Amino acid sequence: MPPTLDLPFVRHHFPALSGDWTFLDNAGGSQILKPVVDRITEFLYESNVQLGASYAVSQLATERVAAGAMAMATLINAADPAEVILGPSTSALLRMLAQCVRPTLQPGDEIIVTNADHEANISPWMELQREGMVLKTWRVNAVTLELELADLAALLTPRTRLVAVTHTSNVLGSIHPVRAIADLVHAHGALLCVDGVAFAPHRRVDVQALDVDFYTFSLYKVYGPHLALLYGKKERLLALPGYNHYFIEDTAIPYKFQPGGSSYELSYSLTAIPEYFEALAQHHGSPRDADPIDQAFALIQQHEGDLNQRLLSFLHSRPRVRIIGRQTADPAERVSTISFVVEGLSSDQIPPQLDAHRIGIRYGHFYALRLIEDLGLLPNQGVVRVSLVHYNTIAECDRLIEQLAELF
């Protein structure tokens, strides 16, 4: 077992945590690492010029932006930094990807989406129906709230070209078996596009081990700036038409998918994210022959299991509460994004009661509107969602529980 996570060491890296607010809405956006902010300032003060010129400051700026992409390739274990596309948001990147995939499809080709995804990984694909593509929906089991592989297998045909699925539902918190999904999808000759927004803050993303064709997540939910990442296998990206100016060559990846380039200062700031995970592993005595990012996320998983156990045990003890998602606290099966509804209370009645106690949680559909509708929860104003990450403490969890116990 990895050692217990040193929370004072962790929290020292996040200046916002020194205040009196308890942040339990992290699935909407995590707090930012201080070194990330420092790198943004460093870039703007020392190298705030256009890339690619011959003079020294431009060369420095170019190197710094490239270092950001390299850092993200390291974080997700991409084979080549050219496989990393940076953009303003996951929603924008997926919409761009769908538009680039569109010319490669023929009327009658099939795309499968789920009803468990954030809308970012649904509507860009559904809009291709206008071009004659056939859209199918892989729905969660109404009883278990699981995406069953057998249900996906029944939807796949020789005309299936792409499957879009979430790694972890931002409502249910369930971790889906992406490698098994990839194997099934690839066996039918189709591509797999995974939304990892709700997974990446909690567990290591290893795109090579997952064998995904495309994978995306938001870096402002992974302790970084308001930027997002889209990974694509090199051969897939080279085969797609670009999204940039007509004179940008098809071989120019990732630039052909980045009109205007990515934000320079934010790209450079990304170098601090894997460095943080490496420092976390080193601080806890990671073996020299172990991957430090893997080791850091093992520590995170263990701590999240403790947080899950604390909050879910309380929710299970309240007879009016229904947990929406997996009932288990096992961090191998779920992340610490926990949603629930309370009999006799609309979801919008609960979070505002915590505001005066400076505890931030949230209610709603969280852009997973199709799932909330299919579960019949929209009249209840969706769900109450508590989303913890590794910098949250058991004491913060207990503060939340103390206040919730007064309400139901």
Token pair in block for residue 226: 């308001």
Angle, in degrees to the nearest 10, between helices 292-317 and 394-405: 20
Q: Which residues contact 81 (CB under 8 A, 6 or more apart)?
A: 66, 69, 70, 72, 73
Identify the residue whose tokens are 């994004």.
337
* Cα angle for residues 44, 77, 253 (degrees, 5° grid): 60
CA distances (Å), origin 405, targets 68, 218, 325, 395: 45, 33, 21, 15
Condensed to tens digits (0 to 9), the pLDDT of residues 360-376 reads: 999 999 999 999 999 99
CA 111, 86, 24, 334 dihedral sign is positive
- Residues ≥6 apart with Cβ < 8 Å to 317: none
Residue 286's pLDDT is 87
Domain residue ranges of the chain, discontinuous segments joined by +: 7-33+292-405, 37-273
Cβ-contact 166, 114 below 8 angstroms:
yes
pLDDT average, residue stretch 283-301: 95
Q: Check: pTM over 0.85? Answer yes or no.
A: yes
Q: Which fold has domain 37-273?
A: Aspartate Aminotransferase; domain 2 (3.40.640)
Residues 152-208 pLDDT 10s:
999 999 999 999 999 999 999 999 999 999 999 999 999 999 999 999 999 999 999
pLDDT grade for 288, boundaries at 50, 70 and 90: confident
In angstroms, the CA 170 to CA 181 distance is: 19
On the question of pLDDT at 337 being above 80, the answer is: yes
299: which 2 tokens? Answer: 């520590």
Q: Is the pLDDT of residue 2 over 80?
A: no
Q: Provide the pLDDT confidence category of residue 125 given band limits of 50, 70 and 90.
A: very high
CATH of domain 7-33+292-405: 3.90.1150.10
Question: Is the pLDDT confidence value at 302 over 90?
Answer: yes
Structure tokens at 13: 């890296």
228-240 confidence digits (pLDDT tens) = 999 999 999 999 9
- DSSP letter, residue 160: E
Indicate the pairing of strand 383-387 with strand 337-342: antiparallel
